């Protein structure tokens, strides 16, 4: 069994001290609930303040990343979420996963930048997927808009992932897509998805929460409302093996046939006036 906690935060833009206090409160609650893992939302420390991204960003191991490692150690949790990372190529929206002793298990720079939020103007995209080693099995990291790109998740699944962690700031106007895509990524890859969305309003966009944990069958094990709260879900990793034995999706894949060829003359559609009378 793996107990997953989701910190459905009301993030305060450009107020890192307030957001850190909220994260510490959620970490304490997760510890009390016996959680193995706590997932924070996307850009949980500073919010979506991309115009000030250079100011808020820090290298891995410093700033908010060091604070996450400290929280993991203080509360004895695996801890994940995304922050702004400064590196040689610029600033990236980077998801990280820490072990309970504060060790960084993996980092992932968001590959798919969301143009509607002007991410492409301020952020450098990542160029590879990341799979983190954990006691429960390989864990894939993704961020928000990535949910719309199933090829990223299938790549992680084929590499052995048993769990996807998806921190997000997904707006209320597209909430049905959020719920549908999270379940789809779990069902099509026959594994567990934990997706943590923020709540509140940043002055321009309203965020509805609705964080959720989904099992390999598409069952929602926990789902939030639009209020700030901690969600806790008990997940049974044996369900992954059961699902894959029952529906042999991985064995039945046909990558050799996944190509598109132009239609030949014998394959052209038959018009209605060419069809034989019945």
Which of 102-106, 191-195, 245-249, 264-268 shows the lowest per-residue confidence on average (mean pLDDT)? 264-268
CATH class of 2-253: alpha beta
Tell whether the model's pLDDT for residue 277 goes beyond 90: no
- For the CA atoms of 154, 157, 162, 165, the dihedral, rounded to the nearest 10 degrees, stands at -50
Tell whether the model's pLDDT for residue 187 goes beyond 80: yes
How high is the pLDDT of residue 185? Answer: 98
How high is the pLDDT of residue 204? Answer: 87
> Of the listed 144, 190, 196, 228, which one is catalytic?
144
> Of the listed 110, 119, 196, 228, which one is catalytic?
110
Tell whether the model's pLDDT for residue 278 goes beyond 50: no
Q: Could you tell me which residue, 70 or 51, shows the higher pLDDT?
A: 70
Give per-residue pLDDT as tens, 80-138.
999 999 999 999 999 999 999 999 999 999 999 999 888 999 999 999 999 999 999 99
The pLDDT of 48-66, averaged and rounded, is 94
| Structural element, H or E, at residue 197 | strand 192-197
33, 221 Cβ separation under 8 angstroms: no
How high is the pLDDT of residue 264? Answer: 78
| Structural element, H or E, at residue 78 | strand 78-87
How high is the pLDDT of residue 31? Answer: 98
How high is the pLDDT of residue 76? Answer: 98
Tell whether the model's pLDDT for residue 266 goes beyond 70: no
Tell whether the model's pLDDT for residue 20 goes beyond 60: yes
Q: What percent of the chain has pLDDT over 70?
A: 95
- Enumerate the domain spans of the chain: 2-253
Question: Coil, strand, or helix at residue 81?
Answer: strand
Q: Could you tell me which residue, 210 or 277, shows the higher pLDDT?
A: 210
Which among 73, 145, 160, 69 has a CA at the least distance from the CA of 107? 69
- Is 42 catalytic? The answer is yes
When the pLDDT of each residue in the chain is averaged and rounded to a whole number, the result is 94
How high is the pLDDT of residue 117? Answer: 82
Q: Distances in Å between the alpha carbon of 204 and those of 48, 49, 171, 196?
A: 11, 12, 10, 20
The encoded tokens of residue 252 equal 């039945």
- Is 17 catalytic? The answer is no
Q: Distances in Å between the alpha carbon of 169 and those of 53, 82, 183, 241?
A: 16, 11, 17, 31
Q: How confident is the model at residue 269 (pLDDT cuts 50, 70, 90)?
A: low
3-class SS string, 219-252: CEEEECCCCCEEEEEEECCHHHHHHHHHCCHHHH
Tell whether the model's pLDDT for residue 170 goes beyond 70: yes
How high is the pLDDT of residue 188? Answer: 98
Question: Coil, strand, or helix at residue 272?
Answer: helix
For the chain, helix (H) and strand (E) counts, in that order, are: 8, 14
- Is 196 catalytic? The answer is no
Q: Could you tell me which residue, 112 or 49, shows the higher pLDDT?
A: 112
Question: CA–CA separation, 106 vs 84, rounded Å?
Answer: 15
Give per-residue pLDDT as tens, 227-243.
999 999 999 999 999 99
Question: CA–CA separation, 230 vs 11, rounded Å?
Answer: 14
How high is the pLDDT of residue 80? Answer: 98
Sign of CA dihedral 99, 234, 207, 164: positive
Q: For 115-264, where are the alpha helices, taking DSSP H only?
A: 119-122, 150-158, 175-189, 238-246, 249-252
How high is the pLDDT of residue 267? Answer: 58
pTM of the full predicted structure? 0.93
> Of the listed 42, 85, 190, 228, which one is catalytic?
42
């Amino acid at each position: 069994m793996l107990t997953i906690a989701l910190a459905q935060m009301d993030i305060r833009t450009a107020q890192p001290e307030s957001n850190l206090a909220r994260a510490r409160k959620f970490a304490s609650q997760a510890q009390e609930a016996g959680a193995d893992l706590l997932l924070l939302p996307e850009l949980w420390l500073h919010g979506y303040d991309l115009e000030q991204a250079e100011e808020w960003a820090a290298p891995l191991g410093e700033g908010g990343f060091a604070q996450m490692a400290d929280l993991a150690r203080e509360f004895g949790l695996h801890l994940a979420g995304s922050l702004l990372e400064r590196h040689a190529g610029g600033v990236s929206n980077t998801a990280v996963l820490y072990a309970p002793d504060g060790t960084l298990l993996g980092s992932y720079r968001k590959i798919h930048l969301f143009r509607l939020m002007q991410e492409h103007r301020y952020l450098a995209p990542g160029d590879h997927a990341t799979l983190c080693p954990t006691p429960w099995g390989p864990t894939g990291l993704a961020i928000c808009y990535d949910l719309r790109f199933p090829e990223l998740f299938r790549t992680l699944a084929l590499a052995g992932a048993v769990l996807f962690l998806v921190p997000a700031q997904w707006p209320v106007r597209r909430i049905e897509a959020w719920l549908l895509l999270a379940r789809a990524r779990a069902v099509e890859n026959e594994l567990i998805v934990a997706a943590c969305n923020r709540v509140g309003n940043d002055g321009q966009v309203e965020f509805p929460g609705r964080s959720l944990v989904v099992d390999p069958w598409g069952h929602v094990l926990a789902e939030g409302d639009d209020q700030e709260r901690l969600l806790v879900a008990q997940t049974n990793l044996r369900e992954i093996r059961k699902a894959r034995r029952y529906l042999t999706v991985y064995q039945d894949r046909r990558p050799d046939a996944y190509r598109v060829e132009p239609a030949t003359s014998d394959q052209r559609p038959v018009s209605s006036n060419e069809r034989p009378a019945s």
